[in-house]
């Protein structure tokens, strides 16, 4: 039985471990957090897409979690799925990647396949990871293989998961591409090999930069369409009836999650570093998308003013604080800067989210309102930030004192849309 060690048991690593376990591989999840490891071995999941019951099935099939790096020595394949946040000045922070790779280098044995799945800038696998592994004294292709394969997990997506989402794979050599492709073919239906690791790294960044820029386009349009008294939501509905040449993107209160607000910056960083000039599309999109929380606050202030209420001391209720609907993940959610801006203006902020019990804003812990109807009645303005399936928005808009819809889901006249 082929053995796999997945380093990092978060939103990327645990679903990967699940898919590999179900395919018959002997999978060990390696994580530096003892509490995470303890909970996983007890069958307690911290990832939205994997329930406790599903984790129990994994455990019964042989999956286990550990903090012991010695497990790498017996692995046929090691996949690195650790965070790559932005550091100072927008540069990628590869600290977790470096730590993982150095750990692998200390324990790797001849014949091991190593794959990096953590999103990063082009060249990381060739120029950053490979030299550290070669310090172990092993030779590429004769004693180990190395590749990059971008994660494509879409949290909360009921249709596409690890198995039926095509897997892009690029090795630092042809032999490494072939070895990695054979490995992923064991539990992914379609494997897409690329020319090399740099192409695989850049493919991931292109996917998310494409979305980042098109979201910025409609966010910019939302602003001037409001000023021109044009219903942008109706415009998009009309445009999307064209059966070719158009893909609908929608405005919102900002972008969230790890991918869209973060990944395009890796590409912009590498272009500036290697070529000395800016990636202007990305930098402009970043500016526009980052301006949306401030725009939401200004629109709410205007609504309050029209109703003879000042923003200061007003009571604002935020509905849905996660970055995506129907999940609990709050990474990079625009709800946080929006709440901070309101608090900075002297506004009283409360929130309701069916998937989040408590929320920290400016060092203050807020508790989700238990009685939604009462919370809406007490708020001067209710703001829909995330469209969780539990929300009956037409009813909420009808019973609110003021209702501001940043997702364009309301149709009646009781709501004000972004």
CA dist., res. 381 & res. 165, Å (int): 41
CA dist., res. 410 & res. 390, Å (int): 14
pLDDT at 89: 65
Q: What is the pLDDT of residues 309-367, one digit of tens each?
A: 999 999 999 999 999 999 998 989 999 999 999 999 999 999 999 999 999 999 899 99
**CATH T-level assignment (fold) for domain 3-201:** Rossmann fold (3.40.50)
Q: Return the CATH number of the domain spanning residue range 291-418.
A: 3.40.50.720
pLDDT at 289: 95
Kindly list the distances between the CA atom of residue 90 and the CA atoms of 85, 227, 268, in Å, as whole numbers in the listed order. Answer: 9, 33, 9
Q: What are the structural domain ranges in the chain?
A: 3-201, 291-418
Kindly list the distances between the CA atom of residue 337 and the CA atoms of 91, 234, 299, in Å, as whole numbers in the listed order. Answer: 21, 28, 15
Which stretches in the chain have pLDDT values below 70? Answer: 89-90
pLDDT at 269: 79
Kindly list the distances between the CA atom of residue 115 and the CA atoms of 5, 104, 369, in Å, as whole numbers in the listed order. Answer: 11, 11, 44
pLDDT at 90: 67
pLDDT at 255: 92
Report which DSSP code applies to 140.
B
Predicted TM-score of the model (pTM): 0.91
Of 17, 188, 259, 296, the active-site residue reads: 259
CATH topology match: 3-201 vs 291-418: yes
pLDDT at 268: 82
* Active-site residue flag, 81: no
Report which DSSP code applies to 76.
S
- Answer left, alpha or beta for residue 246, where phi above 0 means left and psi between -120 and 50 means alpha: beta
């Amino acid at each position: 039985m082929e053995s796999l060690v997945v380093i990092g048991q978060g939103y990327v690593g645990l679903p990967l471990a699940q898919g590999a376990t179900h395919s018959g591989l002997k999978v060990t999840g390696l994580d530096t957090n003892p509490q995470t490891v303890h909970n996983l071995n007890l069958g307690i999941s911290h990832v939205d897409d994997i329930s406790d019951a599903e984790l129990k099935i994994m455990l019964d099939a042989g999956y286990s979690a550990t903090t012991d790096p010695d497990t790498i020595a017996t692995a046929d394949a090691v996949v690195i799925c650790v965070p790559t946040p932005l550091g100072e000045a927008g540069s990628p922070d590869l600290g977790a990647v470096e730590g993982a790779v150095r750990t692998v280098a200390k324990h790797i044995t001849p014949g091991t396949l190593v794959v990096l799945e953590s999103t990063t800038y082009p060249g990381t696998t060739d120029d950053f990871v490979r030299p550290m592994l070669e310090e172990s004294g092993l030779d590429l292709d004769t004693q180990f293989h190395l590749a990059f394969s971008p994660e494509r997990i879409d949290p909360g997506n009921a249709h596409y998961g690890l198995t039926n989402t095509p897997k892009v794979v690029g090795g630092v050599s042809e032999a490494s591409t072939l070895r990695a492709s054979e490995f992923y073919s064991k539990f992914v239906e379609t494997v897409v090999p690329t020319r090399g690791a740099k192409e695989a790294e850049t493919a991931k960044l292109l996917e998310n930069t494409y979305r980042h820029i098109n979201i910025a386009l409609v966010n910019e349009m939302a602003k001037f369409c409001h000023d021109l008294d044009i219903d942008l939501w109706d415009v998009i509905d009309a445009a999307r009836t064209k059966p070719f040449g158009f893909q609908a993107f929608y405005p919102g209160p900002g972008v969230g999650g790890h991918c869209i607000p973060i990944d395009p910056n890796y590409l912009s960083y590498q272009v500036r570093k290697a070529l000395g000039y800016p990636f202007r599309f990305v930098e402009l999109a970043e500016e526009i998308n980052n301006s949306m929380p401030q725009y939401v606050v200004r629109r709410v202030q205007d609504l309050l003013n029209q109703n003879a209420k000042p923003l200061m001391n007003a009571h604002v209720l935020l509905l849905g604080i996660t970055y995506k609907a129907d999940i609990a993940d709050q990474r990079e959610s625009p709800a946080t800067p929006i709440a901070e801006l309101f608090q900075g203006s002297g506004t009283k902020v409360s929130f309701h989210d069916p998937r989040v019990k408590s929320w920290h804003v400016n060092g203050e812990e807020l508790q989700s309102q238990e009685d939604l109807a009462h919370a809406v009645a007490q708020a001067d303005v209710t703001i829909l930030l995330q469209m969780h399936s539990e929300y009956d928005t037409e009813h909420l808009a009808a019973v609110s004192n003021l209702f501001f819809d940043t997702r364009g889901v309301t149709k009646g006249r009781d709501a004000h849309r972004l």
